[in-house]
């Protein structure tokens, strides 16, 4: 197997990336994880060996090309082992979010006709066992060593004397057009849909993203930190980009340990969602308020300077001189907190607030946006860490071989090798979204000077009773610039005016509460306090100035609990489940409009 990828210039199947790394730039620490306080790693050679042994083990257990294997786990090397082992023999992987319900597990297992499941730990094993109780799935394996479950290494050891020629023959038979994976999109309504992606879908995307973004990286040297769920196509394709470019991958211990892990390994890049950057920024700003007077003034002077920054702007010598001072005295500490060696942060899955892009670029922390969907493998456009590829407020330029056009109603349509094969067992749904080869994204946008800018979700736009269109995502993104607003949903379809449900940033709000001598026993009492309501009215009025009169938030209600995945208000990619939130807070919404009638 060692010479499998020799003389192959361009990978055409996803597993080619791994074998190409072994042949061209093998790493001593390809996949890394933390155990008992110590970082441990697998070399490229070890990864390939384990993957080959797993492929043999799967074959010995009767798995055939086209069979389905589910992976339910946070990010860890075992995830990659199973993924690559399945790819090599034509077995289709079905990755699943650890956070979804048992009911969703059962539906996906049954719908995808899963034959084998790998789950990470005791908690997930219990969910899987409950979900498979009425299904004919005999093979369930754990990544952790558990008493009552067979360990994944037993699959690896199933055929120790197996002939690798068998695996090699199956690899040769895998075509770029073959189905690689079925990814069930969480969706904001209804049952999840199974997106079918081929090797070619993901390979083309990996190559396109690499050509756009990897010019700043050093293969064989640079490190990445991975913490976004690999069951989502955004992080999964990112992993393949890292493998293709021989970057060492370090898996964060958990979402809570990201800051600590970043300091430990000093990565050159990572992917994230805007909400994480918002939290990083809010935390930095809250620390700024705690500084002594003179340092506080200097801190916010630097912030104000950074908020005016544009990577493509020329603000003259005086501004550049001040920025140089701000970078040395203030922003250097930001870079240190993020490991001190970052060349690139890739932000996706939602819109990034322009102010965050400005200030991170001012701090010499390039934040590059991208845009795409699960159905497009996922990247359609991407920014690169070079000024010519950056336009604040836009999501980048098209990557290679991808086409985009804007429909008459403003919807973004995409065509290219990245567009999915279709929805599994749902030809009618596929026909709805792919017409004449063009995938209908459901997003509204414009192309300006070669850059794509997203303005809203087509299905989420609504009309007031006066016939005026409201683009809620655009508004929500602006209002979330307030340090006091954690989450917000704009409502008002068919009503006289738009209003909002607001979840305060309780951490910041409680600091404000202490400064203003307000006594409140809990969140419910706090959001009912007249001074707190005045504070939020002031914040709403301030950001309303950015919108036309018909768009402005006229009324709002504060919500006492943060919306989450487990409580049902957010999808696993942190998008608002608008229908669920409307149902859950129906009385609050009605109260808003009763008060105004």
Averaged pLDDT for residues 562-569: 89
pLDDT digits (tens, 9 = 90+) for 479-522: 998 989 999 999 998 888 999 999 999 988 988 988 888 887 78
Q: What is the pLDDT of residue 4?
A: 35
Confidence of residue 9 (pLDDT cuts 50, 70, 90): low
pLDDT digits (tens, 9 = 90+) for 222-233: 999 999 999 999
Q: Is 248 inside any structural domain?
A: no
DSSP label at residue 207 = H
How many structural domains compose the chain? Answer: 3
H or E element in which residue 195 lies:
strand 193-198
pLDDT digits (tens, 9 = 90+) for 326-353: 999 999 999 999 999 999 999 988 778 8
Q: Which of 432, 458, 484 is the last residue of a domain?
A: 458
The CA distance from 210 to 568, in Å, is: 35
- The answer on pLDDT for 305 being more than 70 is yes
| Least confident piece of the model among 4-18, 78-92, 530-544 | 4-18
Q: Which of 140, 175, 202 is the last residue of a domain?
A: 202
pLDDT digits (tens, 9 = 90+) for 111-161: 999 999 999 999 999 999 999 999 999 899 999 999 989 999 999 999 998
Do 407 and 280 reside in the same domain of the chain?
A: yes
Query: Among 494, 495, 476, which Cα is nearest to 486's?
Result: 476
Give the count of beta carbons closer than 10 Å to the beta carbon of residue 383: 28
> Do residues 33 and 251 lie in contact, with contact meaning Cβ atoms separated by under 8 Å?
yes
Do 451 and 469 reside in the same domain of the chain?
A: no
- The answer on pLDDT for 255 being more than 80 is yes
Q: What is the pLDDT of residue 493?
A: 87
| Least confident piece of the model among 21-35, 254-268, 278-292 | 278-292
- Three-point CA angle 176, 178, 179, nearest 5°: 125
Do 351 and 372 reside in the same domain of the chain?
A: yes
Do 432 and 573 reside in the same domain of the chain?
A: no
Higher-pLDDT residue of 161 and 30 is: 30
Residues 6 or more apart whose Cβ sits within 8 Å of residue 535 = 484, 512
Q: Is 235 inside any structural domain?
A: no
Do 417 and 527 reside in the same domain of the chain?
A: no
> Do residues 444 and 454 lie in contact, with contact meaning Cβ atoms separated by under 8 Å?
yes
Q: What is the pLDDT of residue 7?
A: 42
H or E element in which residue 54 lies:
helix 44-60
Do 178 and 143 reside in the same domain of the chain?
A: yes
Do 104 and 172 reside in the same domain of the chain?
A: yes
- The answer on pLDDT for 564 being more than 70 is yes
Q: Is 30 inside any structural domain?
A: yes
Q: Is 306 inside any structural domain?
A: yes
Rounded to 5 degrees, φ, ψ at 346 are -100, 120
- Three-point CA angle 352, 421, 580, nearest 5°: 50
Q: What is the pLDDT of residue 595?
A: 66
The CA distance from 169 to 165, in Å, is: 6
The CA distance from 294 to 297, in Å, is: 5
The CA distance from 94 to 10, in Å, is: 26
Confidence of residue 377 (pLDDT cuts 50, 70, 90): very high
Residues 6 or more apart whose Cβ sits within 8 Å of residue 292 = none
- Strand-pair partners of 27: none
**Which residue in this structure is represented by tokens 């769920």?**
229
What residue spans of 144-256 are helical by DSSP H?
Answer: 153-156, 164-173, 199-213, 233-244
Query: Among 119, 80, 96, which Cα is nearest to 184's?
Result: 96
Give residue 177's domain range.
Answer: 15-202
* Domain at 569, CATH number: 3.30.300.30
Q: Is 133 inside any structural domain?
A: yes
Confidence of residue 309 (pLDDT cuts 50, 70, 90): very high
The CA distance from 505 to 33, in Å, is: 33
Do 433 and 512 reside in the same domain of the chain?
A: no
- Pair of tokens at residue 524: 């419910």
* Domain at 408, CATH number: 3.40.50.12780
Do 465 and 425 reside in the same domain of the chain?
A: no
> Do residues 401 and 208 lie in contact, with contact meaning Cβ atoms separated by under 8 Å?
yes
Q: Is 268 inside any structural domain?
A: no
Q: Count the residues in the chain.
A: 597
Q: What is the pLDDT of residue 1?
A: 34
- The answer on pLDDT for 381 being more than 50 is yes
What average pLDDT does the structure give for the chain?
Answer: 92
Do 465 and 454 reside in the same domain of the chain?
A: no
Confidence of residue 189 (pLDDT cuts 50, 70, 90): low
Q: What is the pLDDT of residue 138?
A: 87
Q: Is 530 inside any structural domain?
A: yes
């Amino acid at each position: 197997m060692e010479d499998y990828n020799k003389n192959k210039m361009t990978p055409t199947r996803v597993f080619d990336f791994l074998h190409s790394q072994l042949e061209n730039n093998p790493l001593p620490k390809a996949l890394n994880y933390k155990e008992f306080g110590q970082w441990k790693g697998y070399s490229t050679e070890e990864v390939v060996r384990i993957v080959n042994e797993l492929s043999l083990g799967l074959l010995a257990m009767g798995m055939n090309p086209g069979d389905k294997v589910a992976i339910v786990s946070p990010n860890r090397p075992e995830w990659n082992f199973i993924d690559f082992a399945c790819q090599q023999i034509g077995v289709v992987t079905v990755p699943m979010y650890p956070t979804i319900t048992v009911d969703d597990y059962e539906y996906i297992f049954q719908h995808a006709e899963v034959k084998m499941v790998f789950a990470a730990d005791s908690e997930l094993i219990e969910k899987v066992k409950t979900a498979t109780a009425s299904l004919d799935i005999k093979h369930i394996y754990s990544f952790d060593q558990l008493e009552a479950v067979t360990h994944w290494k037993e699959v690896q050891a199933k055929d120790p004397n197996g002939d690798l020629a068998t695996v090699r023959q199956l690899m040769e038979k895998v075509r770029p057009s073959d189905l690689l994976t079925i990814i069930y999109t969480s969706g904001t309504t209804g049952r999840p849909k199974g997106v079918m992606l081929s090797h070619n879908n993901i390979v083309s995307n990996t190559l396109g993203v690499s050509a756009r973004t990897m010019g700043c990286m050093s293969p064989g040297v640079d490190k990445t930190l991975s913490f976004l769920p690999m069951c989502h196509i955004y992080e999964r394709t990112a992993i393949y980009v890292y493998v293709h470019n021989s970057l060492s991958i370090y898996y964060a211990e958990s979402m809570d340990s990201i800051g600590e892990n970043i300091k430990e390994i000093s990565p050159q890049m990572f992917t994230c969602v805007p909400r994480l950057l918002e939290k990083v920024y809010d935390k930095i700003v809250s620390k700024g308020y705690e500084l002594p007077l003179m340092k506080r003034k200097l801190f916010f002077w630097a912030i104000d300077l950074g908020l005016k920054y544009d990577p493509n702007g020329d603000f003259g010598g005086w501004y550049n001189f001040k920025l140089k001072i701000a970078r040395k005295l203030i922003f250097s500490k930001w870079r240190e907190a993020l490991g001190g060696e970052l060349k690139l942060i890739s932000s996706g899955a939602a819109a990034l607030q322009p102010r965050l892009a400005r200030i991170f670029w001012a701090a010499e922390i390039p934040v590059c946006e991208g845009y795409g969907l699960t159905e497009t493998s996922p990247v359609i456009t991407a920014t690169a860490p070079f000024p010519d590829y950056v336009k604040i407020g836009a999501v980048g330029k098209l990557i290679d071989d991808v086409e985009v056009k804007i429909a008459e109603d403003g919807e973004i349509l995409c065509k290219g090798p990245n567009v999915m094969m279709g929805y599994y067992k749902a030809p009618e749904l596929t026909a709805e979204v792919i017409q004449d080869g063009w995938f209908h994204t459901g997003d509204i946008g414009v192309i300006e000077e070669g850059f794509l800018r997203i303005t809203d979700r087509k299905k989420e736009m609504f009309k007031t009773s006066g016939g005026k269109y409201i683009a809620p995502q655009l508004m929500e993104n602006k209002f979330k610039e307030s340090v006091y607003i954690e989450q917000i949903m704009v409502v008002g379809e068919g009503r006289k005016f738009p209003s909002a449900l607001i979840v305060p940033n309780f951490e910041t709000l409680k600091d404000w509460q202490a400064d203003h001598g307000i006594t409140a026993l809990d969140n419910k009492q706090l959001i009912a306090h007249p001074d707190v309501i005045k504070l939020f009215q002031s914040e709403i009025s301030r950001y309303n100035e950015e919108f036309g009169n018909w768009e402005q938030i006229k009324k709002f209600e504060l919500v006492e609990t943060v919306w989450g995945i487990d409580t049902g208000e957010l999808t696993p990619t942190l998008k608002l489940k608008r229908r669920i939130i409307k149902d859950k807070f129906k009385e609050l919404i009605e109260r808003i409009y009763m008060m105004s009638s």
